[in-house]
Amino acid sequence: MPQGDLQPRVTLTRSGRAIVASWPPIEPAYGYHVVVTDPAGNVVDTADIAAAAYQPPVMLAGAGIVAGGSYSVVVSVAGLPSQPASITLPTPAAILTGLHDRLIAARTHPASAATDWSYPLDDMVLPDAGDGDPGEVRTALTAALAPSASTPLTIIAPADPVLDPAQGTLALTGTSDALTADPATAVTVTFTVTDDLKLAATWIAAPPDGWTLASAFAVLAETPFDYLPVSGVSLVATTFGHSDPGFFFPQLPGLAYQATLAVRGDLAVTTGQPNQAGTSYTRIGGPAQVTADGTPQFSWTAESALGPLTIPRVGQNPLTLSNGLPQLSCAPARGGNGQAGQAQPSPPPPPAGIDPTAGQPALAATVNTLVITGQVTLAGGPV
């Protein structure tokens, strides 16, 4: 139908203070919308008229139409409305209940423990399509927990997942070897639903005592990170940004690490166990990324400064380092041509209390740095 057939031809006259508008009826019209504006574009009057009720002329006499004013009138044709279409949005409770039921349907007994359950986070439990877009969670968790995660991610649990409608969470607690490569790692994955009705998840793993970063990343074996004096290690993989009172830094999508670092005041070698005499403790950690070849990359700063550290010197008075702030970093090594993975000179060894392997050559694949930055004093005065 030509555009002109739907464009009313409006004629205006005056009747006292009122504007009198008329136009030939438009046969396909469902109704008409009339707008009166002043020269500044301000709307001073409107009218909505059903086509069946249109009886020209139309009197426009809103309070904004005043003596001496100039006005423009625009009449728009309203078409026939569609038939009603209905849709029901899911609730967070329904999304979590559906996930709970899929976990129960997919569980099996592992061969090693007939009383436990094996829960796979595969494409049946977290399908690509469905309320909450669960496939996005599966993809994000798998990427964050690479390279050591099994396929699919699996949790061995003694009980069913716990649905808490009041808190809006679904939690599954058990063990998994994902990332840590240790099947004794305690894991809790907590699912929730965001305000825009997207399924979200946070995976928190607590490896057993003795676990080191080299357990997950072979490239760090026999580097300082294989001997860090730490305790209370936690690894977290999350699909959404949020805060968690168990971590001193905000959670961002991806992988992160946190542990409590121990440093003796005399910089002697320490084990990292809590409550040791003459030892300072601070939490350290933050986000980490893993390259396609399994090399971790991170740069972490401690939560707080350490207590005074004494640096002994042969034949001289000791130095004291105050407000020392530990920093740990790991990055792929690069050769002279900028290519990763080529041999590089080892960085200067850190203090002995942090690096028991000082003086040994570092692996070629990474550059690992452990630094404590603070104020050094000698015999009570700054150096």
What pLDDT digit, counting tens, does each position of 289-306 carry?
A: 988 777 889 999 999 998
**Domain range holding 9?**
3-78
Residue 379 lies in a domain: no
- Whether 145 and 203 have beta carbons less than 8 Å apart is answered as yes
* Separation between Cα atoms, residue 223 and residue 358, nearest integer Å: 9
Residue with tokens 């599954």: 172
pLDDT above 90 covers what percent of the chain? 54
> Residue length, the chain?
383
Count how many Cα atoms sit within 13 Å of the Cα of residue 285 in the half-sphere of its side chain. 24
Q: Please give the pLDDT value at position 182.
A: 92
pTM of the model: 0.74
pLDDT beyond 50 at 2: no
pLDDT beyond 90 at 94: yes
Q: Please give the pLDDT value at position 339.
A: 43
pLDDT beyond 80 at 115: yes
Residue 195 lies in a domain: no
More confident residue, 84 or 40: 40
Distance between start and end Cα atoms, the chain: 89
* Separation between Cα atoms, residue 266 and residue 354, nearest integer Å: 11
Q: Please give the pLDDT value at position 130.
A: 92
Total count of domains within the chain: 1
- Whether 306 and 263 have beta carbons less than 8 Å apart is answered as yes
Say which CATH number the domain at 15 has.
2.60.40.10
At 312-357, the pLDDT tens digits run 778 888 888 888 899 999 987 765 444 443 333 344 444 444 444 4
How many CB atoms are located within 10 Å of the residue 326 CB?
A: 24
- Whether 368 and 348 have beta carbons less than 8 Å apart is answered as no
Of the candidates 10, 75, 27, 73, which has an alpha carbon nearest to the alpha carbon of residue 48?
Answer: 75
Quick one: DSSP state of residue 347?
P
As a whole number, the mean pLDDT across the chain is 85
At 256-287, the pLDDT tens digits run 999 999 998 888 778 888 888 888 999 999 99
Which H/E stretch holds residue 130?
none
* Separation between Cα atoms, residue 366 and residue 103, nearest integer Å: 40
Give the tokens for residue 103. 């976990």
DSSP string for residues in 203-224: EEEEPPTT--HHHH-GGGTTSG
- Whether 201 and 121 have beta carbons less than 8 Å apart is answered as no
CB burial string 274-296: b at 16+ within 10 A, e below: eeeeebbbbbbbbbbebeeeebb
Residue 32 lies in a domain: yes
Q: Is the dihedral of CA 94, 95, 99, 102 positive or negative?
A: positive
* Separation between Cα atoms, residue 33 and residue 18, nearest integer Å: 18
- Whether 152 and 120 have beta carbons less than 8 Å apart is answered as yes
- Whether 177 and 161 have beta carbons less than 8 Å apart is answered as no
Q: Please give the pLDDT value at position 6.
A: 78
- Whether 219 and 292 have beta carbons less than 8 Å apart is answered as no
More confident residue, 205 or 373: 205
Q: Using alpha carbons, list the distances in angstroms from residue 308 to 119, 305, 319, 335.
A: 48, 9, 10, 38
How many CB atoms are located within 10 Å of the residue 352 CB?
A: 17
Residue 209 lies in a domain: no
pLDDT beyond 60 at 311: yes
* Separation between Cα atoms, residue 329 and residue 107, nearest integer Å: 40
Quick one: DSSP state of residue 340?
B
- Whether 177 and 151 have beta carbons less than 8 Å apart is answered as no
Q: Is the dihedral of CA 126, 128, 134, 138 positive or negative?
A: positive
Give residues with Cβ within 8 angstroms of 32, minimum separation 6.
8, 23, 26, 47, 48, 49, 51, 54, 75, 76, 77, 78
Residue 9 lies in a domain: yes
